[in-house]
């Protein structure tokens, strides 16, 4: 079995030109973890137990916490965002919490922002002042983090892609807002909620939120610079905001345990898990509430992909929470690697799958 896990990982690392990579496969109580290549400049070997920036795999974690708040009666999926965080976005036409989680809000994605021109269109005096401080510090080479409110404010200088609920467009801004909704509804920070509602109940020791926790991951991220050379971009947190769109750091074992706990009903009631897994009609029939459905030759899996700060990853579990896979490469540039194909090859290698 280790060869069936290592061979696709090694091929992906070599074909994409990543310094290294990690793969973890779990089947029931059995687990196989492998690593190839290097984790940092200088050649330190990669290891299956290294922590890494999970990027947008943070989104199902945030969605879990929102639905946990729904289950506790603290917020409703059809509540309007402007009622929960007044002034963060334009109130008309209204955007609901559900629209944030399934990317049907129409709110501009942070990837489509042009900070220089968007900042000039900010009207809120507090956001203008924050933007000026952020820009000056960034240009001076200081480690800076854009707040959730600033990123949302910049996105709101753009027109909506469509009327709320009328289409599907993946947007990181939705999950910045979802984190703001969580804080408003629960009175707790996203970092605290991850600890209190997920990590501690499940006994997970290697899951935390950047930038609230500045501890860097073990597995460094790399990307090409202007000269075409791979450089370490691990610590560039400028666009993380409050972390709701992609700020979690974890190791593969804890990340997979989290997803499998969700699928097996240990984090949310079955009806809410079904809400997460059900693809929204406006999407390509694969995106639900923070979860993506993958239909492989050996069965149906749910999870998410992540790409941030020079790291590309995917984490999936079957719908029973029995079989699961995590794949990580310590390089990310556009276009990204096809990690879903790697994950399918690995997870479908399980005998009888």
- Supply the CATH number for residue 32's domain: 3.40.710.10
CA torsion 290-294-299-303 (nearest 10°) is -30
Check residue 62 and give its pLDDT. 98
Extract the residue ranges of the chain whose pLDDT is less than 50: none
Residue 353 included in any domain: no
- Tell me the three state secondary structure of residue 280: coil
Q: Give the pair of three-digit tokens for residue 230.
A: 């791979």
The model carries a pTM of 0.96
Check residue 41 and give its pLDDT. 65
Residue 224 included in any domain: yes
Q: Domain of 55?
A: 2-347
Check residue 32 and give its pLDDT. 95
Structurally, the chain folds into a number of domains equal to 1
Q: Give the pair of three-digit tokens for residue 293.
A: 């459905």
Cα distances from 296 to residues 340, 343, 348, 353, in angstroms, run 9, 9, 8, 10
Helix, strand, coil percent content, the chain, rounded in steps of 5:
35, 20, 45
* 133 touches 67 (CB < 8 A): no
Check residue 49 and give its pLDDT. 95
Residue 352 included in any domain: no
* 178 touches 60 (CB < 8 A): no
Count CB-CB contacts under 10 A for residue 250: 28
CA torsion 261-265-268-269 (nearest 10°) is 180
Residue 130 included in any domain: yes
Check residue 140 and give its pLDDT. 87
């Amino acid at each position: 079995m280790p060869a069936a896990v290592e061979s696709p990982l090694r091929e992906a690392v070599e074909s994409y030109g990543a310094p290294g990579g990690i793969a973890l496969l779990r089947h029931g109580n059995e687990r196989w973890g492998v690593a190839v290549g290097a984790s940092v400049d200088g050649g330190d070997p990669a290891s299956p137990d290294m922590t890494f920036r999970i990027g947008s795999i943070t989104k199902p974690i945030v969605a879990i916490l929102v639905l946990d708040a729904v289950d506790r009666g603290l917020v409703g999926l059809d509540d309007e965002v402007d009622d929960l965080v007044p002034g963060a976005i334009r109130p008309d036409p209204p955007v609901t919490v559900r629209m944030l989680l399934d990317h049907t809000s129409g709110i501009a994605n942070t990837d489509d922002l042009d900070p220089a021109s968007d900042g000039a269109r900010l009207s809120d005096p507090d956001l203008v002042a924050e933007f000026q401080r952020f820009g000056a510090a960034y240009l001076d080479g200081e480690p800076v983090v854009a707040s959730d409110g600033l990123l949302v404010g910049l996105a709101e200088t753009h027109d909506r892609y469509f009327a709320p609920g009328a289409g599907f467009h993946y947007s990181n801004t939705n999950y910045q807002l979802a984190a703001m909704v969580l804080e408003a509804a629960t009175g707790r920070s996203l970092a605290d909620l991850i600890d209190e509602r997920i990590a501690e109940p499940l006994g997970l020791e290697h899951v935390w939120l950047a930038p609230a926790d500045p501890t860097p991951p073990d597995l460094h991220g790399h990307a090409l610079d202007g000269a075409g050379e791979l450089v370490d971009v691990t610590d560039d947190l400028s666009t993380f905001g409050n972390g709701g769109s992609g700020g979690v750091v974890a190791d593969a074992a804890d990340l997979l345990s989290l997803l499998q706990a969700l699928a097996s009903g240990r984090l949310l009631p079955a009806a809410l898990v079904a809400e997460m897994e059900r693809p929204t009609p406006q999407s390509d029939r694969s995106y639900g509430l923070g979860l993506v459905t993958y239909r492989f030759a050996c069965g149906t899996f749910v999870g998410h992909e992540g790409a941030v700060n020079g790291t590309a990853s995917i984490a999936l579990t079957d719908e029973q929470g029995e079989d699961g896979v995590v794949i990580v490469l310590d390089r990310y540039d556009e276009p990204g690697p096809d990690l879903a194909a790697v994950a399918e090859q690995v997870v479908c290698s399980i005998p009888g799958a």
